[in-house]
């Protein structure tokens, strides 16, 4: 004769069994949402000032006719960089510093800022950056 289980234990097991497919579906929805967001995000900049500047999620380095665009996320722990002083890009979290070309000059970061590809919209003359 099979052993009897209590009603409380039965519902507890049943709830756990329902949780597994729910967790799987939620995980798939989050993955799809992130993929959709990253595939369709672009950022536009019109006429950046000379030198270093921060505009939303990017850092613009405009030296003479050379333009470089970097992610504003520090390569140490991903903090958002929001400060430029004396031609240096400074992370507010742990003090990492980067030069105009995105190379680290002071740690704890040892990797250069992520360089982003961009195009120039011929109609509006805006710089278009695909964010991923």
**Predicted confidence (pLDDT) per residue in 19-63, tens digit:** 888 888 888 888 777 766 555 577 888 877 888 888 888 888 888
- Give me the CATH number covering residue 126: 2.102.10.10
Q: CA-to-CA distance for 106 and 50, rounded, in angstroms?
A: 24
pTM recorded for the entire structure: 0.64
- Are 28 and 35 in contact by the 8 Å Cβ rule? The answer is no
Tell me which residue of 69, 71, 26 sits closest to 48, measured CA to CA. 69
22 with 86, same domain: the answer is: no
Residue 123 and residue 94 share a domain: yes
Q: Which domain holds residue 70?
A: 42-130
How confident is residue 109, by pLDDT bands cut at 50, 70 and 90? Answer: confident
Q: Are residues 110 and 69 in the same domain?
A: yes
In total, how many domains does the chain have?
A: 2
């Amino acid at each position: 004769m099979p052993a009897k289980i209590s009603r409380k234990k039965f519902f507890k097991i049943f709830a756990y069994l329902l949780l597994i497919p729910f967790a799987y579906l939620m995980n798939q929805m989050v993955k799809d949402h992130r993929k959709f967001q990253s595939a369709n995000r672009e950022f536009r900049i019109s006429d950046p000032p000379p030198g270093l500047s921060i505009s939303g999620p990017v850092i613009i380095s405009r030296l003479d006719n050379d333009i470089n665009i970097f992610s504003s996320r520090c390569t140490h722990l991903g903090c958002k960089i929001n400060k430029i002083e004396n031609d240096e890009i400074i992370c507010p979290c742990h003090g990492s510093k980067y030069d105009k070309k995105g190379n680290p000059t002071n740690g704890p970061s040892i990797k250069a800022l992520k360089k982003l590809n961009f195009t120039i919209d011929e109609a509006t003359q805006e710089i278009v950056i695909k964010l991923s």
